[in-house]
Structure 1
Amino acid sequence: MPVDLRIPFEPPFDTVLVANRGEIACRVIRTCARLGLRTVAVYSDADDGARHVREADLAVRLGPAPAAQSYLDIEAVLAACKATGAGAVHPGYGFLSENAAFAEALAAAGIIFVGPGVRALGIMGDKIRAKNHVASHGVPVVPGVARAGLDDGELAAAAGQVGYPLLIKPSAGGGGKGMHAVAGPEELPAALAAARRVAAAAFGDDTLLLERLVRSPRHIEVQVLADNHGAVIHLGERECSLQRRHQKVIEEAPSPLLDAGTRARIGAAACRAAASVGYSGAGTVEFLVSDEAPDEFFFMEMNTRLQVEHPVTEMVTGLDLVEWQLRIAADEPLALAQDEVQLHGHAVEARVYAENPEQGFLPAAGTVLALAEPAGEGVRVDSSLAPGLRIPASYDPMLSKVIAWGADRNQALRRLEQALAGTVVLGLHTNLEYLRLLLADPQVRAGRLDTGLIERKLPSLPFHRPGGPDLAVAAVAALAWQRRRAGLPDPALDPGREPAADVPPWRRGDGWRPGAPAAQLVSLAAGPGEDRQVQVAGTPGRARVGTGGPDGAAIEVMLHPGAVTVDGVRYPAAWAVDEEATLWLNYGGRTMAFGIRDRDQRLHQAPEQLGHAGESSPEVRSPMPGTVTAVAVRSGEQVAAGQTLLSVEAMKMEHRLTAPLAGEVTLNLKPGDLVKAGQLVAVIRPAEPGQNTKDEAHA
């Protein structure tokens, strides 16, 4: 709960436009409502009907789905402010939150920007300028080269002075995009080219900087608050070392690494960095700390906005950071001095993403068919989810954040694990199981963290593989769905409902025979090449299921509303079937997906499997919905097996599609084209014996 400072709030504005979407828009709206402020949501066509749109007092459409034509369109946001009388704009994070031109445009229109001034945005928005600036104010920085205008040759020459291993970073932007670790000089040219391409595409600026790569690095950031009257305080630090590809996954406050003395020193350095640019509002100063030398820290960058992980700071301080952003924007002085800031207990946050960890963390899209979010002592959920909500592929894949507080770190971790176990999202893949596996890791439990830990642990994480009981429950749920489609409700699931009178018994799909009902065959696709045929005898209210397991014993399954009984043991459960006949099942604390295959599909696939046994398919399909960002070959060109054909981006992730075999490629896509998950994007006509492939021609 927020600290009660008993300060009345009388701002010079009564309406706040939230220039963002998703969970952060919902979170800002919640605080505004508590303070008695009217809120305005903005949305793109992809977010029509989104939760933040429903929760705001007013909502204004900005434009079509692409962010450049909606959430990043400054003129459209200004028009929404004028149409609704918004006197202030809260930018959330991402999109326009650190855009100096946006802040200037709002000021010119007489609208308050809930964020820092243009000078702070300008200096801290450029990594090179920021690093040089804070170094001149006594803030320690990582050794490196940070000068604008250096070409690849000059960077290569400077790399020898920096020393290997080193890190390439785009000067503009954040979130790890375009960052590359380089072990030696032979890797540098290709890494520079890749970093420039990503930086130019993502941020419109391909300026790069080089830094010494700190070994066993830990990512620790300090939350600061600064008012317009010269006061700057810090609210302690957050440990953000659990990252994958430079994207944070689990964060906590305070860090288990720092002692009280280092905490005070790193906090003072963060305040110096903020004061050096006349900072105003809430901001975060990020530091790199070596696990091998925890008393040393180096400035990385300053995020001139609210951070995704701000709830853990709120949980241990009792302060509402959004409220203080609004109060500072209304020109109020800070009500707390540094010595009055106290940290109580420990808080841990996990980010729930729409992605499939078992398929290389490919972004996922879909419709939320069923939803259960946790609650309880010390548990908080910041979410954008709602039943029936369509999750688009156009934006960041984060769906929600689950946060747990405890009197100590162990209690916070236990509560978070229980909260994640109680989170159910059916209709799309999420990283919930992956989060729980990370929290169970002995090194994570012990607080022995670094930014490379997840990458090292991933290959050995024991992801659940659906076994006999899972297949049995899925088969009975699939049977229930098939019965409902045929107008045959089950008494246990649909009490009081009678079967449709006009359905002939031989069309009901319930195993009806003139004598006794026969066992029914349910075909499930548990994954690529994992089709299983399951025999179900009975109805979903009571069934005996033979899964073909090694012991050959049948499993007793009973479905109930919100639960399932397996061999006499009752478990909470939820299931739903989407438009593609995919069964989404949450059972035993895990969510699984099974394709329900009918007889026609089985007959169609049989000859395909016979014809392509042991061969690579000549078809290339997009594994996710997204936008084509690059096409590397021309239609009709000879390609080698493994050669990159095109790249598809969705939810801030770029995925390269490669040729499965050598031959002549046919494709008709160009950058900017939209593709669906499973869409055919290229076909390879296999090379004839003796025909040169691209590699052979250049041998």
Structure 2
Amino acid sequence: MTLHTADPAFVFETVLVANRGEIARRIIRSLRTLGIRSIAVFSDADADAPHVREADDAVRIGGASAAESYLKVDAVMEAARRSGAQAIHPGYGFLSESVSLAEACAAAGIVFIGPGREALQIMGDKARAREHVSAHGVPVVPGFDATGMDDALIRLRADEIGYPLLVKPSAGGGGKGMEVVRTGDELAQALATARRVATAAFDDDALVLERLVRRPRHIEVQVFGDAHGTVLALGERECTLQRRHQKVMEEAPAVRLPSAVRERLMDAAVAAARSVHYVGAGTVEFLVEADAVDEVHFIEMNTRLQVEHPVTEQVTGLDLVALQLLVAAGGALPAPPPARGHAVEARVYAESPERGFLPSTGTVLLFDPPRGVRVDAAVESGSEVTGFYDPMIAKIIAHGPDRATALRRLDAALARTVVLGVETNIAFLRSLCTHARVTSGDLDTGLIETMLPLPPRRPSPRMLASAAVLVEAPDDVRVGELWGTAQGWRMGTPPVRASVAFLTDDDEIVETAPDANATAGADAATDAEAAVDADGAIWVSENGTTLRLRPLSRRARLLRRLAAQTTTTGADDPTGHAPMPGTVVALHVAEGDVVREGDPLVSIEAMKMEHPVLAPHDGAVHLLVAVGDQVRREQPVARVDGQETA
């Protein structure tokens, strides 16, 4: 459905987009189509971001971190006043479910493109939402609100409910701060971690504990309400493929869902939205037992547009952002069109699945998105991926007449997607598209965990050949460098190229075959994209797999081999290293404490993810960092001396 500013409901000339990345770009695209002037906001880290250039105007709102910029209601409101915006679209994440922003908009006479205060207050608190929808006949997962309880009382209630349990922040969403507790002994650590992440992400450490459904599917319903009392369900989405409660792939409609269960979900979602007089776009989320799909449990309502909304747009033909604007301006919702076909979305994250999905930061040397499918991207060539924000950098969405076709098209699109300069999960996403359980529709939220750990990826001959071209083609060769070049010459024979060696991120030496360019084919460089970063490392990509290769000279190879031969067998590295660049958010031990192998020493946070550094062996701790320190990847953060035991 296409909407135009000729529609009488459209009264907005200027809309401020209070978000960043692909979210802001997506909203700006609809605003431009509708002829509405767009205002972007940006932090210091995003001064050169694509969404800033694409908007009609942009306003700086603060420092690099979200707390200094995108989460500041006063800064967003001042930007709206300065730009003359009649409305604010909060996107999804950050302030999209903020009562404070909605109230500030109301006080300033600016339209908040989202639901009213009642919906935000009730549904924004998971504990309150559970009680509220339960009173309106919507089934919920057994659990309790831990607000105001100390850890001892929480333990008593948790023991009564039974394990396993899910600990999750009462505010916010996106899986942030969620911890699975399988025994009572794990509860205290899970509570501490969940509170810390919740405070950092949502400025609210209130928690809810719920019984963990054994083999759950995560299915959500897209709802829309208008100011005239109409509430519609625009279909459901399957969001079961996730890791650590963070969605990885989504699709619409849900897989192999009986029509009776689908109707129950639609009715429950509409009932939940009606109970708070909902206006705007929202998502009602449910857990469905994979082995008994008629068991449906409400888990939360997100009072905003969702990251995965494109799959609903693909199967309905609707522009959900345009619908949000229509409803916010007082317009009435039109009758929804029938769904058509199947859509699948893959989230491209800047992370390394082979290294435990650790986030990756750096400069995007090349971003070449696939053609023929929808791409919602946060980056372009030259963009900086920092540790301040979520690691998702793009979404690839494929549509087809049926699920099998959509999955095949998505896999083919991912194979054509090139990202150089940061590690990504593209190769892993391709493995999901072709996984037997995924293609057959046998889904549950633990599926991805069954695929782990992932083996290290090795470069193909074409990847090595493409990387070697960038090593073997110096502008000039000085006499002193002749022995270090890879070329040889003999009278009466063609030149001979020695192998070129690289060091992978798994600390493995890989080499091209002699005369690699000839054996790989003259067009090898066109089959595997490659680029050199500021540190001299070569990034190379082929069929969705990207690797960083560091060239090794002959001397460096020799020194590494000698070092390997002289290393004492069985010696342990006493140092704990940061697994990624980020911020030290917690010290789990004090200087001089005696720890056991595997005990957590410090926690590092980046891109809204927290990772512990564990003791390499038994011994006494010497801390090398403090809370708040910024650390580099592989930077030493603690040393465990000796082999003392407690």
Question: Shorter-chain TM-score category?
Answer: over 0.9
Q: Check if 1:53 corresponds to 2:65.
A: no
Q: Does 1:422 align with 2:422?
A: no
Match of 2:470 among 472, 476, 481: 481
- Residue identity matched to 1:73: K
Stretch deviating more after TM superposition (241-250 or 327-336): 327-336
Separation in structure 1 between the aligned mates of residue 511 and residue 199 of structure 2, nearest angstrom: 50
Distance 2:595 2:188 in 1: 24
Letter in 2 for 1:658: L
State the distance in 2 between where 1:131 and 1:375 align: 43
Query: Which amino acid counterpart does residue 342 of structure 2 have in structure 1?
Result: H
Displacement after TM superposition at 1:258 (Å): 2.0
Contact persistence 1:523–1:533 (CA under 8 A)? yes
Report the TM-score, using the length of structure 2 for normalisation: 0.93
Question: RMSD between aligned alpha carbons?
Answer: 2.5
Q: Which residue of 2 aligns with 1:466?
A: 458
Number of equivalent positions: 643
Matching residue within 332, 344, 349 for 2:345: 349
**Which residue number in structure 2 is paired with residue 511 of structure 1?**
487
Task: Tell me the TM-score normalized by structure 1.
Answer: 0.86
Aligned mates of 1:148, 1:447 — CA distance in 2: 38
Kept after mapping to 1: 8 A contact 2:471/2:551: no
What pairs with 1:285-324 in structure 2 (closer than 5 Å)?
285-324=284-323
Report if the CA contact (8 A) 1:476-1:536 is conserved.
Answer: no
Q: Secondary structure at the match of 1:374?
A: coil
Deviations 1:149-201 (A, max 9, x none): 23333333323442333322222222223323333444444433443343344
The answer as to 2:529 corresponding to 1:574 is yes
Shift of 1:127: 0.6
Unaligned residue ranges in structure 1 (runs of 5+): 489-501, 544-554, 564-571
Aligned to 2:369: 373
Aligned-pair distance for 1:88? Answer: 1.1
| 2:382 maps to which of 372, 378, 388 | 388
Q: 1:508 to 1:9 in 2, by over 3 A?
A: farther
Bigger drift between 236-245 and 249-258 goes to 249-258
1:595-606, aligned counterparts within 5 Å? 595-602=550-557, 604-606=559-561
Shift of 1:641: 3.5
2:148 maps to a residue whose letter is G
Secondary structure of 2:528's aligned partner: strand
Q: Does 1:644 align with 2:643?
A: no
Amino acid in structure 2 at the alignment position of 1:436: R
Q: In structure 1, what is the equivalent of residue 514 of structure 2?
A: 536
Query: Does residue 609 of the first structure (1) align with residue 564 of the second (2)?
Result: yes
**1:6–1:345 Cα change, 3 Å:** farther
Letter in 2 for 1:385: V
What corresponds to 2:548 in structure 1? 593
CA 1:160–1:622 in structure 2 vs 1: closer, same or farther (change >3 Å)? closer
- Per mean C-alpha deviation after superposition, the further-off stretch among 74-83 and 184-193 is 184-193
Contact 1:635–1:667 (Cα < 8 Å) also in 2: yes
Match of 1:432 in 2: 426
Paired residue type of 1:643: D
Instruction: Tell me the residue number matched to 2:504.
Output: 526
How big is the shift at 1:261?
2.5
Q: 2:192, 2:583 → 1: CA distance?
A: 22
Mapped contact 1:22–1:383 kept (Cα < 8 A): yes
C-alpha contact (below 8 Å) 1:505/1:512 kept by paired residues: no
CA drift of 1:7 comes to 6.5
Q: One-letter code of the match for 2:212?
A: L
Residues 488 and 497 of structure 2 are in contact (CA less than 8 Å); yes or no, is this contact kept in structure 1?
A: no
Shift of 1:557: 3.7
Partner of 1:149: 148
Kindly, what percent of the aligned residue pairs are identical?
Answer: 51
Bigger drift between 321-330 and 671-680 goes to 671-680
Question: 2:466 & 2:304 partners in 1: Cα distance?
Answer: 46
1:682 pairs with 2:629: no
For the Cα contact (< 8 Å) 1:474–1:594, is it kept in 2? Answer: no
Which of 359, 363, 384 is residue 359 of structure 2 equivalent to? Answer: 363
Aligned in 2, Cα 1:270/1:589: closer, same or farther, shift over 3 Å?
closer
Q: Quick check: which has more Rg, 1 or 2?
A: 1
Q: Is the 8 A contact 1:257 1:294 kept in 2?
A: no
Report the Cα distance in structure 2 between the residues aligned to 1:507 and 1:17, rounded to whole angstroms. 61
The 3-state SS of whatever aligns with 1:104 is: helix
Task: Give 1:265-284 correspondences, 5 Å limit.
Answer: 265-284=264-283
**CA deviation digits over 1:96-130, x for unaligned, max 9?**
11110111112212211111111111110111100
Structure 2 residue 522 is matched with structure 1 residue 558:
yes
Q: 2:279 corresponds to which letter in structure 1?
A: S
Contact 1:238 1:254 in 2 (8 A): yes
Within 5 Å, which residues of 2 pair with 1:136-215? 136-146=135-145, 148-215=147-214
Structure 1 contact 487–508 (Cα < 8 Å) conserved:
no
Structure 2 SS opposite 1:198: helix
